[in-house]
Amino acid sequence: MRAVAIKKSSREETVGFQEMGTLRCDSCGEEFFIGHRLASADKWVAERHKWVAERQAKWLEKVLAEEHERDKKHPDRIELPD
């Protein structure tokens, strides 16, 4: 599965990605689109993607917090783990 988080304020393309949710950084309020490339419209596959997206959102929260700890700016696009 190919999944990304894209900063909503950026001009990054989201074409080809199914929106799985939005995450807001607790520190700065920046919002990120979480998108998956869906190869199938199968209901079981969609449920699995939903579960994976929830796990990815928790991972992303930690990454964003770590970036603030290191005074690092959030990139426009972040590849998410499968």
Structural domain spans, the chain: 3-80
pLDDT at 1 over 60: no
User: What is the structure's pLDDT at 46?
Assistant: 77
Task: Give the separation between CA 48 and CA 53, rounded to whole angstroms.
Answer: 9
Task: Give the separation between CA 48 and CA 39, rounded to whole angstroms.
Answer: 12
Nearest to 82 by CA among 25, 27, 36: 36
In the 8-state DSSP scheme, what is residue 35? E
- pLDDT band at residue 40 under the 50/70/90 scheme: low
User: What is the structure's pLDDT at 36?
Assistant: 92
Strands (E), 1-82: 3-7, 18-24, 31-36, 77-80
pTM for the whole thing?
0.85
